[in-house]
Structure 1
Amino acid sequence: MPRNKFHGLKRPKLRQSWSKYNLYNFTKVGTPPAANKTFFQQKWVAKSMTRGYHNPQIKEKHWTRMFDRRLPAVVPMDYRYLAENDGSEMALGRGSGLEKAEEGRERKKQKTPYMNMAFHPLERRLDTAIWRALFASSTKQARQFVVHGAVRVNGKKMIYPGYQLNPGDMFSVEPEQVLFATGAKKRRKDSPKSLQDVRDLKEEQRALAMEREQERQEQEDSDAGAATLESDEEREAMSGRPEDQDDPKKALRSLMIRAQKILDDSKRKLSGKRQQELRQFSRSIKKTMSKLRGIEEANVEDTIDGLESGLAEILTKIPQDEVPREVRLDTAEAAEKRDEANNVPEEPQPTEPAISRQTGKVDEYRARKDAELLHAALARANENPIDSSKPYATPWKPREFMSAFAFIPRYLEVNQNVCSAVYLRHPVARPGLAEVPSPFHGETLGLAFNWYLRRR
């Protein structure tokens, strides 16, 4: 198959691969239209679509010899019922599609998707099983591993990708090959970084530049606002308390000045999140001041109390050493007056020895937690070191777009630690489930199965 047309985007072609182009094609493929096509044409289109996904490296003549019209399926039986009856009465009224439940109600049986098992012989192939076990990023890569001698079946080297697995066979792939297949791609041969790391670094730099530009713009706006608040009226508002003032505008201006003072005095020591909260608080005060005329007099005090409690909540998240002393006093007095107005009983303050003991316990707990985190980080670094000589990016991380294909069928038992898997049994169809993974609709698979029946 031509390499440049392996993933077609104009005409979606699904492949057994973890490629991002293939993942895009998954979102575009649906049931082919059948309004203006004959039954022969519908079967041919369905055959070409399904064969393009289910191991297209196999020649059509080879697959035709492998095709089996007998589709494996199982019917779950109740062991209690089988212990009491011989099963002959189950043949009475076959085809009704109804089953008597224990409670006397009738429920409809789930249909068994037989047609979804059309390509079940291909699941026995060694290269397909390696891809299903997540040891390779595509069936083509799995074939390469087999041909190059990196795969063993029952402890013996196997170089034939079309080897038919039997129930109980164990196959294993060299761990270095699995890490290369499922790990992120390297940027250069002499660099341990991956393409994904480079893209993430560029995105972080772009986000940091945007954040700095936004902070600069907000700083300019805040400086302009602070310059307008340096009049005698603002100084008078700063000297008073919001609860002592009759003018709501003065109370709001006092709150805004306190928030701005916290920002100006401790901007270098505050975290970015706290700075964003204070800036958002200042913007909300400006909006409230602009809408003050539309607010009823009865709701003005509630609005001011809400803003005051919001500022107090922000201050609780900031270390008290970083908050200016006058702002702390203003907030404490405002909280006391608010509690007195609401008749809230004052909580007893702990004594100095109790505070010191509590602080010592907190410091000891934080030190122990920091030590545990540091030990875990060092262990991860030792287990997953940086090595430029590896053919994959280090420290190892899974490939992009892997999660969309990261599933293991029921007929495989996989151990990712030793890169080995056991082929437990042949895939079967159950009521409501077919164990052959396929992205196509059951109708499309049914048409493809009818094509290979040769009833034309």
Structure 2
Amino acid sequence: MPRMSWHPRNLYNLWRRQLGGKVEDTVFTQTPKSLFQQRWAAKALLRAYHGDYINEKIFKRWYLPSTLPDVRSQAIGSAADAASLNKWAKREQAAEKEAKRLEDERTKGLAPVGSLMFREVERRIDVIVFRSCFAHSVYEARRLVVHGDIMLNGKKHTNPNTRLAPGDMISVNPEAIRFLQPDAAQNVTDADAVSEEGAQEDAPSAPAASEVDLEDLQEAEAGSTTAASESDAVPKRSSSKSSPPSSSKWKKGSGSNLTPFHLPSYASPFIFIPAYIEPSFSTCSAIYVRHPTARPGYSEIPTPYDADGEIVRAAWEWYTRVRPRMRSKSQLARMPENRQ
């Protein structure tokens, strides 16, 4: 099943669910499965992607909204009667708003509010780290939080179950981000250094030749600088050409101190930032701007399935039948941190 990961195997699983041999498991128009089996299969697929590491009982109690949005479209007759009633009561603004909603629903379709079932999961700090593209998977993001590599509003935070509030800022330790590490470039630098040392040991006369070349180079530089002292632009060009390339920390002879960026294979399909996150890759931080929403024809919650398709609707029908009971005070005391 598809997961929150950049692994090539996960990309293959996505292909199988969308175009491959497993696509028939997600089509419920013509299926021998009963209604219960369809709802359970849809719930299993969605939960495998959205917080599969969260226990089902804990998910239904704390991460499932207390009031699930209705994915069923409203009857056209009743909506038209409500609009006419508002107009008759001289509530012009309410009547215009209802008419606009009906027009948007007619042209764009119903808003995919069923995907908002997983809005509380998307607020988790480990999911925000993964959505900001600072970790290869949500499991690695959870490990970063537990190991103390994540800061919440400038303070170290080690609870991955925390749900962020709008305006919260997270910061990731750059040394903990795998694709920012100079391992590959450093290996190249070490190999070059070893090869140079071996060449110098094999040829003892090389240092003398290099000293002669260095003296000739210095004399040539002195002559070029005295001849070009009349102009301001020429010395800059001559100095830039004659000076040896600056040794870089990441790659020898590169002349640049830019941080290397080594992405894993097949990571490009997963590199996207949701609209409710504002990242800053120069500081390895991100701001949770607002809660995810949905409007007609668009859902801000990333999901590998259609946000208004059969899978989401069947899962919504499943959770409407098993929604949690009223939470008591003792249960509220055990609730994971919710910053609202």
Deviation at 1:432, TM superposition (A): 1.2
Identity of aligned residues (%): 36
Query: What is the aligned partner in structure 1 of residue 278 from structure 2?
Result: 413
1:242-276 per-residue CA deviation (whole Å, 9 max, x = no partner) reads: xxxxxxxxxxxxxxxxxxxxxxxxxxxxxxxxxxx
Where do residues 4-19 of structure 1 align in structure 2 (5 Å cutoff)?
13-19=1-7
Deviation at 1:183, TM superposition (A): 4.8
Distance in structure 2 (CA, Å) of the matches to 1:184 and 1:72:
46
Distance in structure 2 (CA, Å) of the matches to 1:382 and 1:191:
10
Distance in structure 2 (CA, Å) of the matches to 1:92 and 1:398:
48
Q: Is the CA contact (8 Å cut-off) linking 1:72 and 1:428 kept in structure 2?
A: no
Q: Is the CA contact (8 Å cut-off) linking 1:413 and 1:423 kept in structure 2?
A: yes
Q: Is the CA contact (8 Å cut-off) linking 1:172 and 1:419 kept in structure 2?
A: yes
Distance in structure 1 (CA, Å) of the matches to 2:32 and 2:176:
48
- Report the TM-score when normalising by structure 1: 0.47
Partner of 1:449, secondary structure, is: helix
User: Highest Rg: 1 or 2?
Assistant: 1
Distance 1:94 1:454, change over 3 A: farther
Query: What is the aligned partner in structure 2 of residue 454 from structure 1?
Result: 321
Q: Is the CA contact (8 Å cut-off) linking 1:44 and 1:448 kept in structure 2?
A: yes
Deviation at 1:137, TM superposition (A): 0.4
Where do residues 376-387 of structure 1 align in structure 2 (5 Å cutoff)?
382=248, 384-385=250-251
1:144-197 per-residue CA deviation (whole Å, 9 max, x = no partner) reads: 10111111101111111011100010011101112x1x358968xx9726xxxx
1:79-127 per-residue CA deviation (whole Å, 9 max, x = no partner) reads: xxxxxx95222266688x436xxxxxxx824431111222111011010
Query: What is the aligned partner in structure 2 of residue 192 from structure 1?
Result: 187
Partner of 1:108, secondary structure, is: helix
Distance in structure 2 (CA, Å) of the matches to 1:424 and 1:70:
23
Q: Is the CA contact (8 Å cut-off) linking 1:146 and 1:159 kept in structure 2?
A: yes
Deviation at 1:401, TM superposition (A): 1.6
Distance in structure 2 (CA, Å) of the matches to 1:191 and 1:88:
65
Deviation at 1:455, TM superposition (A): 6.4
Matched, 1:37 2:12: no
Q: Which amino acid aligns with 1:138?
A: S
Query: What is the aligned partner in structure 1 of residue 221 from structure 2?
Result: none
Matched, 1:47 2:43: yes
Query: What is the aligned partner in structure 1 of residue 103 from structure 2?
Result: 98
Q: Is the CA contact (8 Å cut-off) linking 1:118 and 1:445 kept in structure 2?
A: no
Aligned residues: 240
1:355-397 per-residue CA deviation (whole Å, 9 max, x = no partner) reads: xxxxxxxxxxxxx7xx79x99x967x736436xxxxxxx9542
Q: Is the CA contact (8 Å cut-off) linking 1:185 and 1:399 kept in structure 2?
A: no
Partner of 1:192, secondary structure, is: helix
Query: What is the aligned partner in structure 2 of residue 154 from structure 1?
Result: 153
Q: Is the CA contact (8 Å cut-off) linking 1:411 and 1:425 kept in structure 2?
A: yes
Q: Which runs of 5+ in 1 are unaligned?
A: 1-12, 74-84, 100-106, 194-367, 387-393
Q: Is the CA contact (8 Å cut-off) linking 2:153 and 2:169 kept in structure 1?
A: yes
Q: Is the CA contact (8 Å cut-off) linking 1:184 and 1:400 kept in structure 2?
A: no
**Pairwise CA RMSD of aligned residues?**
3.7
Find the partner of 1:434 among 299, 316, 335: 299
Partner of 1:382, secondary structure, is: coil
1:309-348 per-residue CA deviation (whole Å, 9 max, x = no partner) reads: xxxxxxxxxxxxxxxxxxxxxxxxxxxxxxxxxxxxxxxx
Deviation at 1:450, TM superposition (A): 1.6
Q: Which runs of 5+ in 2 are unaligned?
A: 72-90, 189-236, 253-258, 324-340
- Report the TM-score when normalising by structure 2: 0.62
